[in-house]
Every structure is written in C-alpha cells, then in structure tokens.
Structure 1
Amino acid sequence: MAARVGLNGQAPRCDHIDLLPAVEPGLPECKECLALGQAWTLLLVCLTCGWVACSDDSPGGHAREHYRETDHPVVAALAPETAWRWCYVHGRIV
C-alpha cells in the first residue's frame, strides 16, 4: 500500500488527524502555569481530549508535557482565526 501524500507532494499525510474525535476545548488558560504563577505566550488545545495548555514558546511547555503523558498526538492553536495544527508524533504542522 502506498503512503498517502500531503498537499505539498512530499510529506506523508498525517493519519492522526483522521482519528480525532470532536472535542470542546477547555477554558482558555494553562492550569499548570496558573498554579506556578507563570505566564504563557500561546495556548494550544489537545484535539483528542480538549485539554488546554501552553506552547513550547511559553516557559512551561505544558502542551508537550500533556502529549508525553497521554500520547495524544495533535494540538491546535486556541485561536478561532487560525487553522494551525501540530502533530507531535511527526514533528510538523498538519
């Protein structure tokens, strides 16, 4: 079976996005940062469970920590005006 090709014709399509359930994001805050008194730069939502946490650009990097704990592969920016999604497994935008 041939690998499915992405829009740019080079990278294989990320099958993780095909397996995502419909989720409602949690509150627009990083609970871990709040508990530590830290600020965040960008919030990400886990597209598997809806957990909201800070990005790698933030001091805590709690979204990646959530991935390491749960193996939930794909996050999206928690901003209605963007369609940006990141797959931790493939290490790229999907």
Structure 2
Amino acid sequence: MATQCTHVADHVKKVKPNTKGCEECLKTGDTWVHLRMCLECGHVGCCDSSNGRHARAHFHATQHPIIQSAERGEDWRWCYIDDTYI
C-alpha cells in the first residue's frame, strides 16, 4: 500500500519563491542541478542531485516537510517526512 502524506493541511501555505535560484548557492556562488521550493515559507533550494542539497538541508533545519519542483514543465510535490509524492 502506498504511503499517504498527512502534512498538507498544516504545512502547505500560499507562498511565492523567495529567489530565482537556490538561496544558499546564490550566496556562495555555487551551482545547482534542479530547484525545489518549500511550500511553507517559499525557500528555494537545490535538489539532492546538487552538491549542496539545500532543499533537504532546509527541511532538516526547519522541519518544513513539503516541497514542490521549481523547474519549468514539472508539476509535483514531495513530503520529506512521509518520503512520498503528493
């Protein structure tokens, strides 16, 4: 049976991206592979295929569990706690 996310109601807010790139990578001059946006605060971080893995680091620092792809043409959300697509 597939895991279902129970965090949407409490953690998904109406947010806009804080930046047009990974917030941490922009500060350090690093590059990223793909971008993810936190649906609780609008933080933009890089994906797990990027060196910084800043989207996941943001989750660990804040416990904001739900991200969505910030890539053009992609329309999906992910819950880090339940380890599942939404």
Q: Work out the percentage of aligned pairs sharing the same amino acid.
A: 39
More relative contact order in 1 or in 2 (CA 8 Å, sep 6+)?
Answer: 2
User: Structure 1 residue aligned with 2:6, among 15, 21, 39?
Assistant: 15
Q: How many angstroms apart in 2 are the aligned matches of 1:50 and 1:31? A: 10
Residue 64 of structure 2 corresponds to which residue in structure 1? 72
Number of residue pairs aligned between Structure 1 and Structure 2: 85
Maintained 8 Å contact 2:3/2:82: no
| Amino acid of the structure 2 residue aligned with 1:14 | C
Partner of 1:41: 33
- Structure 1: segments with no counterpart, 5+ residues: 1-9
Q: Name the aligned partner's letter for residue 82 of structure 1.
A: E
SS at match of 1:86: strand
Pick the structure with greater CA Rg. Answer: 1
Q: Does the CA-based 8 Å contact 1:28-1:78 persist in structure 2?
A: no
Post-superposition CA distance 1:39-84 (Å, at most 9, x none): 1000100001111111111010001110001000000000353221
CA RMSD of aligned residues (A): 1.4
- Asked if residue 56 in structure 1 is aligned to residue 48 in structure 2, the reply is yes
Please name the residue that 1:5 is paired with: none
Gaps of 5+ in 2: none
SS of the equivalent of 1:58 reads: coil
CA contact 1:73–1:89 (8 Å) conserved in 2: yes
